[in-house]
Amino acid sequence: MYEELRSELKKRKRRITAQREMILKIFLESKGRHLGVEEVCRELLDRNIRISKATVYRAVELLVDLGFLRRLNFGDGIYRYEIVDRSEVESHQHVICRVCGKIKEINSEMVKKIVSEISEKTGYIIENHDLKFYGLCPDCKRRLSGG
């Protein structure tokens, strides 16, 4: 992954910085999580690295442009990012708790069927889709029902 990053950056004549590498590493180590810029800053601080939010934001957006990260918007006004697993053939869907914001990843057979149906009907090659489900996670459901 780092080698890939290095060659991508070189191709685009962008300087590979230790910062960018470290940010990518944080995402690699937190696979399945969906980090906002604020959380990336916190993770960096845990490693005793102090980088301004603006710098982290720019680095993260660059990694999106290069195809290493995917930008996600769960409607709470915060951009979150996740690592793009290039070996991942099918994209996954997100289930978001509207109370605590916990995000679960799912891989629905039904969605696969929908994608191939849309592809058939429209003649398009479907390369990407963005499907989100909102509701209550089991913890919040239990808490709110007073159980």
Give contact residues for Zn ion (rule: CB under 5 A).
82, 97, 99-100, 102, 105, 137, 140
Nearer to Zn ion, 9 or 82 (CB): 82
Report the nearest approach of Zn ion to the CB of residue 106 (Å).
9
To Zn ion, the closest distance from the beta carbon of 13 in angstroms equals 31
Token pair, residue 143, equals: 């808490």
Smaller CB distance to Zn ion: residue 40 or 137? Answer: 137
CB count in 10 Å sphere of residue 57: 17
Query: Measured from the CB of residue 87, what is the shortest distance to Zn ion in angstroms?
Result: 15
Q: Return the closest-CA partner of residue 69 out of 1, 139, 134.
A: 1
Cα 112 to Cα 68: distance, rounded to the nearest angstrom? 23
Reduced to 3 states (helix: H, G, I; strand: E, B; else coil), residue 19 is helix
Q: Is 69 left (phi over 0), alpha (psi -120 to 50) or beta?
A: beta
State how far the Cα of 122 lies from the Cα of 106, in Å rounded to an integer: 26
Q: Report, in Å, the least distance between residue 135 CB and Zn ion.
A: 9
Name which of 114 and 140 has its Cβ closer to Zn ion. Answer: 140
**β-bridge partners, 82:** 70
Q: Residue 58 or 102: which CB sits closer to Zn ion?
A: 102
Tell me whether residue 78 or residue 97 sits nearer to Zn ion (CB atom).
97
CB of 69 to Zn ion, least distance (A): 11
